[in-house]
């Protein structure tokens, strides 16, 4: 029973309509039973109801009660839970766990109050708390039983109480520590901080099952069903086939107690004897070039291991089109590529589990995101239709299937969730970016560019979101660049070129010092990590710096009028010596060639043209915020990206590198089942623009090949961009260059 005060009238008059509205918003056949994960309660927080337009809005701590159980008496005790501040009146004798549930505070309770799990610990605060208007006295809570005291002592938590055991005897102020909060929140670091509410599709409950008996003719399954219904209000559950095989042995091993793992509150995917704790999930971004996964504790949301590896399909083609062609040219091509990625995912899961020190059978769910070709190959679907207009997908819906059906060796009952895809060229990875950055919830016009082998672009705000994809190719990932390598120790990731001397300095991954701070000669000081190549962020910086220093002209050609020892020539093709032979691990200089510049120009023009198409569609000439996502997104310097013309002009303070947003989105879908519903709704709401057949694309692409752009202005770079080259002069030194051969 709850204190309602002035809200009672509102509850009586408005709640049925509001609840109906919420049900309509949230109704989804697959997940509706799981929207309220704890045993049924008649409470709804007004905060949720604030979603309803035009309704009164109340602060978070105020509560409404539905149904008939709404009469409180003055003799009931006031209980306030911190840090939420939720409060309510409950009859004396109510357990703190039940009181918390009644006011909408969810406390962990895997064992359901059997003093087994210890997850329901709370702190009872003693004293007078004027701020909350409560006198919380020692005698207002029941003393711990011997069993509870023993339990807490063993866990070195004697200052806590088990909320399932402690009962209310008077007014109390109770703190629920973060570890005990059922819907924990974790903050994801990004351009804007985002809170992920932990509400996974998988959860575990502990049950005590009626033992078999001569006079009880029910089967063990029916006994388990009755226990779940009676102890956890879980009706209408069904079991994965795998569960049947061991159910009888398991129940007897556990002396008629068991831990049941449920998926979406309706399917039993595991039953283990007695009390068992530990459910993990894997969120994987299956990129064209790189596969990256986070292994997460599904109860806390914590990332317990992170692993990445090359996508082995690279062997069959570096980009999407070449993989589609491989499938077309080889009768077993699709099967070969499917097997390769499944094998890689098994390796990745095995490594992550080993890193975290858990068993692979403790992984109960995987969320996989990827572009549409990766999506089809993962599922063993021939992606041939994606290779040409009308770029038809086999399905754009979200998919749930058994991991074992894909050949993934996790827990036998584990589920694979693949979010929906947007269109033929915009896949579940882009939907994951949507979940992570949520442009559909923003007022500002936001441009998100996910840089990978296939660039994906989102533009919009809460009123409209547009999406497109651009075939950037693998240049940003180091491929197609003469000295390109993946981001690894020794890769050049930062570059500066002195505009006066044209001399470079660089920094490699694994060494904080710039190359001009390296000790001279061997044996002097801490030896540097020698350069082994250039990674994506390095190639962006070096080309932008070459342009700023006047070594590259706006059309991308090396300035033929310069004479400098760092410049080498082979015919009309120039190259710049970024690292000398003495600075590299191979003993060969690292050059940036004309072909490298061209490859980056084409890639960045494809991205820019895609973004521009969307801006034209949205009838905007500027954006408020630019987010750079992608495997190496965190490492891209916004200024250099803009100098290169990879993104439209924007206040540099409003350009953010957000890292692997697709991976973050996969993690959000793993940890919060409601976000899966949101993904389905938003995916069908956004406008997709097919850049491949858009009439203006070619024109935009050609104009964007220039550095930073042939015609679009960049007022925010006005102070740093070089002027137009004077092609009538003989260069900054006034001397005609003497050509140096690339072979020198």
Return residues touching ligand FES (CB under 6 A).
Answer: 109-111, 113, 115-120, 162, 164
CB of 179 to ligand FES, least distance (A): 13
What are the C-alpha distances in Å from 415 to residues 33, 400, 733? 18, 7, 66
CB of 256 to ligand FES, least distance (A): 18
Grouping H, G, I as helix, E, B as strand and the rest as coil, residue 427 is coil
State how far the Cα of 691 lies from the Cα of 137, in Å rounded to an integer: 68
* DSSP label of 364: E
Smallest separation (angstroms) from ligand FES to the CB of 97: 6
Is the distance from CB of 427 to CB of 372 less than 8 angstroms?
yes
Nearer to ligand FES, 208 or 694 (CB): 208
Number of H helices, E strands in the chain: 17, 33
Pick 31 or 298: Cβ nearer ligand FES: 298
Q: Which one, 118 or 420, has the nearer CB to ligand FES?
A: 118
Looking at the DSSP bridge assignments, the partners of residue 506 are 495
In whole angstroms, the minimum distance from the beta carbon of 162 to ligand FES comes to 4
Considering the complex, state which of residue 162 and residue 468 has its C-beta at the smaller distance from ligand FES: 162
Q: Which SS3 state, helix, strand or coil, does residue 671 take?
A: helix
Query: How many angstroms separate the CA atoms of 207 and 455, rounded?
Result: 49
Minimum separation from the CB atom of position 175 to ligand FES (A): 16
Peptide bond into 701 cis (omega under 30): no
Q: Which of 410, 406, 450 has the alpha carbon at shortest distance from 426? A: 450
Q: Can you name the residues that pair with 665 across neighbouring β-strands?
A: none
Closest CB to ligand FES among 11 and 164?
A: 164
- Residue found under tokens 């540099």: 652
Pairing of strands 161-162, 121-125: antiparallel
Q: Taking the mean position of all CA atoms in its chain, how far away is CA 158? A: 38
Question: Smallest gap, in angstroms, from Cβ of residue 244 to ligand FES?
Answer: 28
How does DSSP assign 381-392, residue by residue? --GGGGGSTT--
Tell me whether residue 118 or residue 427 sits nearer to ligand FES (CB atom): 118
| Distance linking the first and last C-alpha atoms of the chain | 87
Least separation in angstroms between CB 166 and ligand FES:
10
Is the Cβ–Cβ distance between 640 and 653 less than 8 Å?
no
Q: Which of 495, 556, 499, 551 is nearest to 720 (CA)?
A: 499
* Rounded CA separation 150/131 (Å): 34
> In terms of CB distance, is 232 or 608 closer to ligand FES?
232
State in angstroms the smallest separation of the CB of 163 from ligand FES.
Answer: 6
Q: How far apart are CA 79 and CA 180, in angstroms?
A: 17
Residues whose CB is less than 8 angstroms from the CB of residue 633 and which lie 6 or more positions away in sequence, other chains included: 450, 451, 657, 658, 659, 660, 661
Least spacing, CB of residue 39 vs ligand FES, in Å = 12
Smaller CB separation from ligand FES, 119 or 376: 119
Nearer to ligand FES, 164 or 647 (CB): 164
Q: CA 234 to CA 40: how far, in whole Å?
A: 9
> CB of residue 116 vs ligand FES: minimum separation in angstroms?
6
Instruction: Report which DSSP code applies to 337.
Output: H
**Choice between 299 and 676, CB closer to ligand FES:** 299
> Toward ligand FES, which CB reaches closer, 168 or 283?
168
Give which of 102, 117, 179, 109 is closest to 148, Cα–Cα: 117
Closer CB to ligand FES, 69 or 145, in the complex: 145
Q: By C-beta, is 273 or 722 nearer to ligand FES?
A: 273
Compare residues 208 and 385 and give the one whose CB is closer to ligand FES.
208
Sole residue written with tokens 């924007």? 650
Nearest distance from C-beta of residue 114 to ligand FES, angstroms? 6
CB of 84 to ligand FES, least distance (A): 19
Strands 257-263 and 267-273: antiparallel
Cβ of residue 121: shortest distance to ligand FES, in angstroms? 8
Nearer to ligand FES, 204 or 532 (CB): 204
Cβ at position 300, least distance to ligand FES in Å: 16
Closer CB to ligand FES, residue 275 or residue 688?
A: 275
95 or 672, CB closer to ligand FES?
95
Would residue 148 be called left, alpha or beta, if left means φ above 0 and alpha means ψ between -120 and 50 degrees? alpha
Helix, strand, or coil (residue 581):
helix
Is the CB of 93 or the CB of 133 nearer to ligand FES? 93
Q: Measured between alpha carbons, how far is 240 from 270 in angstroms, rounded to an integer?
A: 8
Parallel, antiparallel or unpaired: strands 363-370 and 280-286: parallel
Q: List the beta bridge partners of residue 373.
A: none
Nearest to 717, CA basis, from 655, 630, 634: 655
Distances (CA, A) of 628 to 292, 462, 610, 621, 646: 18, 20, 14, 19, 10
Phi, psi of 649 (to 5 degrees): -60, 140
Say if residues 465 and 686 touch (Cβ distance below 8 Å). yes
- Cα dihedral: 210, 211, 212, 217 (round 10): -10
Cβ 611 to ligand FES shortest distance, Å: 52
Per DSSP, which regions of 410-566 are E strands? 415-418, 446-450, 455-460, 465-470, 491-497, 504-508, 533-534
What's the closest the beta carbon of residue 253 comes to ligand FES, in angstroms?
Answer: 21
Instruction: Give least dist CB 133 to ligand FES, A.
Output: 29
Residue 161 C-beta: closest distance to ligand FES, Å: 10
């Amino acid at each position: 029973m709850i204190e309602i005060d002035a809200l009672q009238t509102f509850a009586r008059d408005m709640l049925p309509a509001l609840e109906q509205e919420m049900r309509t918003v949230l109704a989804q056949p697959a997940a509706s039973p799981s929207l309220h994960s704890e045993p049924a309660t008649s409470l709804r927080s007004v905060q949720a109801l604030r979603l309803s337009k035009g309704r009164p809005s109340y602060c978070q701590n105020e509560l409404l009660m539905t149904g008939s159980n709404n009469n409180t008496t003055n003799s009931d005790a006031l209980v306030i839970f911190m840090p939420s501040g939720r409060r309510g009146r409950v009859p004396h004798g109510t357990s703190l766990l039940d009181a918390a549930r009644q006011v909408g505070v969810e406390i962990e309770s895997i064992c359901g109050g059997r003093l087994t799990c210890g997850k329901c610990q709370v702190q009872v605060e003693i004293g007078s708390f004027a701020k909350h208007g409560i006198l919380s006295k020692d005698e207002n809570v029941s003393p711990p039983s011997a069993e509870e005291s023993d339990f807490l002592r063993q866990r070195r938590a004697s200052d806590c109480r088990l909320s399932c055991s402690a009962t209310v005897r008077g007014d109390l102020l109770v703190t629920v520590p973060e570890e005990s909060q059922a819907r924990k929140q974790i903050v994801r670091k990004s351009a804007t901080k985002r809170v992920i509410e932990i509400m996974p599709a998988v959860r575990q409950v502990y049950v005590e099952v009626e033992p078999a008996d001569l006079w009880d003719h029910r089967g063990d399954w029916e006994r388990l069903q009755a226990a779940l219904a009676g102890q956890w209000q879980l009706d209408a559950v069904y079991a994965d086939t795998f569960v049947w095989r061991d159910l009888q042995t398991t129940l007897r091993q556990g002396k008629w107690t068991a831990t049941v793992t449920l998926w979406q509150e309706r399917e039993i995917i595991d039953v283990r004897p007695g009390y068992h704790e530990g459910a993990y999930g894997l969120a994987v971004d299956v990129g064209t070039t790189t596969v990256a996964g986070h292994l997460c504790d599904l109860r806390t949301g914590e990332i317990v291991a992170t692993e990445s590896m090359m996508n082995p399909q690279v062997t069959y083609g570096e980009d999407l089109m070449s993989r589609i062609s491989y499938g077309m040219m080889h009768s077993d091509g699709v099967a070969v590529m499917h097997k390769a990625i499944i094998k890689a995912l098994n390796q990745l899961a095995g490594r992550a589990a080993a890193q975290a020190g858990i068993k692979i059978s403790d992984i109960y769910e995987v969320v996989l995101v990827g572009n549409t070709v990766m999506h089809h190959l993962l599922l063993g679907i021939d992606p041939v239709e994606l290779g040409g207009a009308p770029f038809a997908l086999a399905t754009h819906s979200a998919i749930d299937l058994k991991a074992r059906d894909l050949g993934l060796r996790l827990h036998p009952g584990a589920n694979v969730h693949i979010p929906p895809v947007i269109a033929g060229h915009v896949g579940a990875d882009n939907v994951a970016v949507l979940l992570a950055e949520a442009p559909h919830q923003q007022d500002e016009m936001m441009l998100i560019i996910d840089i990978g082998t296939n660039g994906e672009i989102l533009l919009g705000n809460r009123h409209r979101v547009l999406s497109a994809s651009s075939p950037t190719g693998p240049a940003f990932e180091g491929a197609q660049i003469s000295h390109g390598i993946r981001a690894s120790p020794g890769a050049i990731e930062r570059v500066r070129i002195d505009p006066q001397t044209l001399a470079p300095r660089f920094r490699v991954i694994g060494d904080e010092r710039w190359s001009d701070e390296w000790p001279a000669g061997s044996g002097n000081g801490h030896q540097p990590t020698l350069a082994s190549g250039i990674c994506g962020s390095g190639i962006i910086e070096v080309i932008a710096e070459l342009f700023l220093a006047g070594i590259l002209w706006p059309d991308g050609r090396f300035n033929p009028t310069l004479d400098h020892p760092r410049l080498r020539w082979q015919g009309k093709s120039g190259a710049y010596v970024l690292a000398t032979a003495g600075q590299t691990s191979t003993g060969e200089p690292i050059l940036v060639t004309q072909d490298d510049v061209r490859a980056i120009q084409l890639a960045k023009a494809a991205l820019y043209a895609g973004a521009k198409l969307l801006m034209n569609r949205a009838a905007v000439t500027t954006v408020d915020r630019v987010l750079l996502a992608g495997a190496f997104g965190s490492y891209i310097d916004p200024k250099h990206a803009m100098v290169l013309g990879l993104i439209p002009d924007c206040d540099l303070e409003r350009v953010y590198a957000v890292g692997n947003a697709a991976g973050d989105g996969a993690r959000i879908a793993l940890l919060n089942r409601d976000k899966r519903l949101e993904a389905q709704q938003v995916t069908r709401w956004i406008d997709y623009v097919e850049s491949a057949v858009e009439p203006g694309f070619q024109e935009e692409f050609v104009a964007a090949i220039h550095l930073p752009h042939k015609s679009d202005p960049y007022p925010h770079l006005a102070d740093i961009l070089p002027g137009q080259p004077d092609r009538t002069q003989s260069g900054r030194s006034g001397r005609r260059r003497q050509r140096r051969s690339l072979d020198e």
